[in-house]
Chain A
Amino acid sequence: MTLTTPMSPDGPPSVRIRDLTVVYRTAAGELPAVRDVSMDLAPGTVTGLVGESGSGKSTLALSLLNAVQPPGRISAGSVDIGGLGDVVQLRGDKLRQARGGQIGYVFQAAQNSLNPLKTVGKQLLDLGRSHDVKDLRALVAEARDLLARMGLDGARVLDSYQHELSGGMRQRVGIMLALVLNAHVVVLDEPTTALDMITQANILEIIREIHAERGLTTLVITHDIGVVAEVADEIAVMYGGRLVEQGPVRAVLGDPHHPYTRGLIQAIPRLTGDIDEAQALPGRPPTLTTIPDQGCVFRSRCALRMDVCDTVDPLFQSTGDRMVACHAVAPAATFTTTTSESEREMTPSRAWSGIGSGRREPAADGDGVVARETNEGDSA
């Protein structure tokens, strides 16, 4: 439990995303996958970004590294990272050094994020040389410590090829590679997908502990609300390229305001309850080509749909303890829009416990509190 790296002197950095729009070039012109998203990751917090596949959450995550893949591109907005400046404006070597150096990215375990022909150790050295690390010996020692911290035999893992590692081990190697250069902003893309229940719980625990020990600002992207409940302080819900609700995990999960968030939570089957109580959201999530270009993106699946939803895009504005974008949810006080940031509660609430009805068991015990992709729910 010893800290292998001293906390950065200025503490964990903050991340400010402002009016971010990412478009993809298609046969039908440039279509936005992320539109006008503004969001803050407070220093030292874990934010869980939830959404169905196609909601734009992965694109948003890649934007944090200014690494949106063609045919996509960031067409507007900024991503300010403390101590680094606006990532969107970074180019060339500076951008490359920021990736991995200040911002770590952890791939989904099922994805093969390692070169199959090289040992983990050799790839670690490639990483060190790419970032002009002078003392490669120290880098290897640091990597070994990190792996040991996550319960692995560091020397052995460094001498292994990807195919010799299990999913959970790969995930830990991914976390090690993201942190070994002392990055303090970390993005985890579906960190527990495709892992078995025990490993999932294990990885989540590691994420939580490492986050605290190293003083990180962490963004966890997932379609699994259980993961957010388990590790995050803050939750942000994405739908159709828009942020629809953001706030403290405890508050949002206990009392969701946006009808989509509510639907997501209702879709979770409870271990102790009747399976029929879990209600899948009707309809399908929009794809890039079916996102309406005006009005609320969620209206076609919304139970609270009003006339205004067809024409006017709801503002993402503060309602008390959180931000919501919905016409049906009246803002607590409209004038707070400008001062909302200062008013928002940023107190990290560490572990989730007994949110909502209190019937649920913590996810770490392996009950699989998973909001399945609703298109799967449809077919069931």
Chain B
Amino acid sequence: MKGIARRLAGHLARGLVMIWVVLTFTFVIVSIMPGDPVQAEYELLLQQGHSPQQAEAQTAMLHRFRPTGSVLEQYLEYMGSLLRLDLGQSVVTRVDVSTILGEATRWTVIPVLIGTVLSFVLGVLIGVYAAIKRSGKLGDALTLSGSLLRGLPDFVVALILAAIFATLWPVLPRSGAVNILYEPGFNLDYILSLGQHAILPIATYAISSYGGWILAMKSSVVTVLGDDFILAAELRGMKRSVIFRYIARNAILPLFTIFALSIAALFSGAIFVERIFNYPGLGMLLINSIGRRDITVMTGAFLLITAAVIVANIVADMFYTVIDPRVRRAGDAA
């Protein structure tokens, strides 16, 4: 347990450093942004007859940016407020950024999660099959399809799916998260509509990531099949089901590290998918806020995405640590 705690502490420290890097980056971006929105707001308030102190206080409250003072002061103010998780209000709509983010997060996380789990299960199963039949034609074809699909970016998959199922053979809605005709709430029409709208985004997430799982699982299973302990289990007369469990658990293990790395890609993919299907998630929010130069929302969305990736990385690694005794107990012994 001590090993796990130490590992977790290390991850958290590194995660904080990364958050700091990201915050600094966004601060620099906003500072040098052409047509400084903070300055513009400040001057507007002055024109409306506010005193400089009032105008400054209000701008700072809105944007987490002080329009005046040295760069260092501005930086400290910005970092301070964000570390207090105070994200301010949207420049455009004056709604709390945390509210906006909370609303958008649901639309990203749930479809991404479903799509990932689907592709993981499918990819792992097909990967096992491709590993067992690796010298056959079908195994070969599955492997090649895996490398092609791993290569294909989300937007190509999304556009092709949309072209087929929304344009040529229009059976699924192409835009939005739900039909606005229906009353939001727990009624069948609304839920059905939600499901219908989610099919294409989820399918995109699933298809564009499952090729990677096939390849990873296949090579992992091939490695484990060659391990001595599998033959040893067979020679000890272990049941097939037991041996299968030995293979599966050992082969899936390395996939967790890949999982961590793929999370960042998933969030990037969500930006395309949400733009193409007009889905109101975090990616859409980021694009729209950039288009409107809504710096508070932009900063908040970027921060949230980065934090989510970092946390997901940590969770994946901790999961790995808990499963693999070699990592878990190594920490304890030290």
Q: Measuring CB to CB, which residues of chain A are less than 8 angstroms from any residue of chain B?
A: 62, 65, 67, 69, 96-101, 105, 107, 111-119, 126-127, 129-131, 161-164, 174, 177-178
User: Is A99 in contact with B234, judged by CB distance below 8 angstroms?
Assistant: yes
User: Is B325 in contact with A127, judged by CB distance below 8 angstroms?
Assistant: no
Q: Which of these, B227, B235, B249, B323, contacts A100 with CB under 8 Å? A: B235
* Neighbouring B residues of A119 by C-beta, 8 Å: 325
The residue among A65, A97, A116 with the most chain B CB atoms within 10 A of its own CB is A116
User: Is B325 in contact with A112, judged by CB distance below 8 angstroms?
Assistant: no
User: Is B250 in contact with A116, judged by CB distance below 8 angstroms?
Assistant: yes
Interface presence of B253 (CB below 8 A): yes
Interface presence of B233 (CB below 8 A): yes
Interface presence of B236 (CB below 8 A): yes
Q: Which of these, A65, A98, A161, A174, contacts B329 with CB under 8 Å? A: A161
Contacts A129-B242, A161-B329 given; does A116 touch B229 at CB 8 Å = yes
Q: Which of these, B229, B250, B325, contacts A113 with CB under 8 Å? A: B229
Q: In the complex, A161→B237 CA distance in Å?
A: 21
Q: In the complex, A99→B329 CA distance in Å?
A: 32
Main secondary structure, interface of B, reads helix
A102 nearest CB neighbor, chain B only: B237
* Neighbouring B residues of A127 by C-beta, 8 Å: 236-238
The residue among A67, A96, A114, A117 with the most chain B CB atoms within 10 A of its own CB is A117
User: Is B231 in contact with A69, judged by CB distance below 8 angstroms?
Assistant: yes
Smallest Cβ distance from B114 to chain A, in angstroms? 28
Contacts A163-B326, A164-B329 given; does A114 touch B229 at CB 8 Å = yes
User: Is B231 in contact with A117, judged by CB distance below 8 angstroms?
Assistant: no
Q: In the complex, A50→B250 CA distance in Å?
A: 34
Question: Can you list 30 A-B contacts (CB < 8 A)?
Answer: A67-B235, A69-B231, A96-B239, A97-B237, A99-B235, A99-B237, A100-B237, A105-B232, A111-B228, A111-B232, A112-B227, A112-B228, A113-B228, A115-B229, A117-B249, A117-B253, A117-B323, A119-B325, A126-B233, A127-B236, A129-B242, A130-B236, A130-B237, A130-B239, A130-B242, A161-B325, A162-B229, A163-B325, A163-B326, A164-B329
Q: Measuring CB to CB, which residues of chain B are less than 8 angstroms from any residue of chain A?
A: 227-229, 231-239, 242, 246, 249-250, 253, 323-326, 329-330
Smallest Cβ distance from B234 to chain A, in angstroms? 7
* Neighbouring A residues of B232 by C-beta, 8 Å: 105, 107, 111, 113-114, 174
Q: In the complex, A131→B235 CA distance in Å?
A: 12
Smallest Cβ distance from A173 to chain B, in angstroms? 11
Smallest Cβ distance from B53 to chain A, in angstroms? 64
B249 nearest CB neighbor, chain A only: A117
User: Is A112 in contact with B237, judged by CB distance below 8 angstroms?
Assistant: no
Counting residue pairs across A and B whose Cβ atoms lie within 8 Å, the total is 78
The residue among B234, B235, B325 with the most chain A CB atoms within 10 A of its own CB is B235
* Neighbouring A residues of B238 by C-beta, 8 Å: 96, 100, 126-127, 130
Q: Which of these, A62, A101, A107, A115, contacts B237 with CB under 8 Å? A: A101
Q: In the complex, A130→B253 CA distance in Å?
A: 24
**Extra 8 A-B pairs, beta carbons < 8 Å, given A96-B239, A117-B253, A178-B236:** A67-B231, A98-B237, A99-B236, A105-B232, A107-B228, A111-B228, A115-B233, A117-B324
Q: In the complex, A112→B250 CA distance in Å?
A: 13
Q: Which of these, A65, A101, A115, A161, contacts B246 with CB under 8 Å? A: A115
Q: In the complex, A97→B237 CA distance in Å?
A: 6
* Neighbouring A residues of B233 by C-beta, 8 Å: 115, 126
Q: In the complex, A96→B229 CA distance in Å?
A: 16
* Neighbouring A residues of B325 by C-beta, 8 Å: 116-117, 119, 161, 163
Q: In the complex, A178→B232 CA distance in Å?
A: 10
B247 nearest CB neighbor, chain A only: A115
Q: In the complex, A97→B239 CA distance in Å?
A: 9
B239 nearest CB neighbor, chain A only: A130
Smallest Cβ distance from A261 to chain B, in angstroms? 29
Contacts A100-B237, A130-B239 given; does A161 touch B326 at CB 8 Å = yes
* Neighbouring B residues of A112 by C-beta, 8 Å: 227-229
* Neighbouring B residues of A131 by C-beta, 8 Å: 237
Contacts A129-B239, A129-B242, A130-B239 given; does A116 touch B326 at CB 8 Å = yes
* Neighbouring A residues of B237 by C-beta, 8 Å: 96-101, 127, 130-131
Q: Closest 5 A-B residue pairs measured CB to CB? A: A100-B237, A113-B232, A99-B237, A111-B228, A100-B236
* Neighbouring A residues of B326 by C-beta, 8 Å: 116, 161, 163
B250 nearest CB neighbor, chain A only: A117
Q: In the complex, A287→B222 CA distance in Å?
A: 26
Q: In the complex, A126→B229 CA distance in Å?
A: 13
User: Is A65 in contact with B235, judged by CB distance below 8 angstroms?
Assistant: yes
Smallest Cβ distance from B208 to chain A, in angstroms? 31
* Neighbouring A residues of B242 by C-beta, 8 Å: 126, 129-130
